[in-house]
Amino acid sequence: MPQFGEAALAHLPPLLEKVDHLPPVTFTELKREERRPYREAGHLLVGDKGLNCVACHNFNGKPSPGLKGLDLLTSFERLQPSWYAHFMRNPQKYRPGIVMP
């Protein structure tokens, strides 16, 4: 497989962003005192009592026992919030055959 340096690839992210035409998603910033129930619901969803995301995704440095999806705590470093919101609503649309609920 060829190796491409950063200089050869640096122009790609802005070009890819131009052709990515997903509708924007609006996120409401919650006040600190309103966040707890959402955080608790999120923990329940990703854990083994919910959608079981931790079966395939690393979480907080702890390796997953199954397939190796990206770490849930560092995913924000590479995923755009709007894309992620659309993807989570219908993973099969963006990655046919993906093993996700």
Q: Which residues pair with 69 in a beta bridge?
A: 57
Tokens of 11: 């122009």
Residues 70 and 58 sit within 8 Å (Cβ to Cβ): yes
Q: Structure pTM?
A: 0.68
The per-residue pLDDT string of the chain (101 residues; one tens digit each, 9 = 90 and over) reads 578 888 888 888 888 878 877 888 888 899 999 999 999 998 898 888 898 888 888 888 888 887 888 888 888 888 888 888 999 999 999 899 998 87
Measured in residues, the chain has a length of 101
Residues 46 and 59 sit within 8 Å (Cβ to Cβ): yes
Q: Dihedral of the CA atoms 18, 78, 48, 30 (nearest 10)?
A: -80
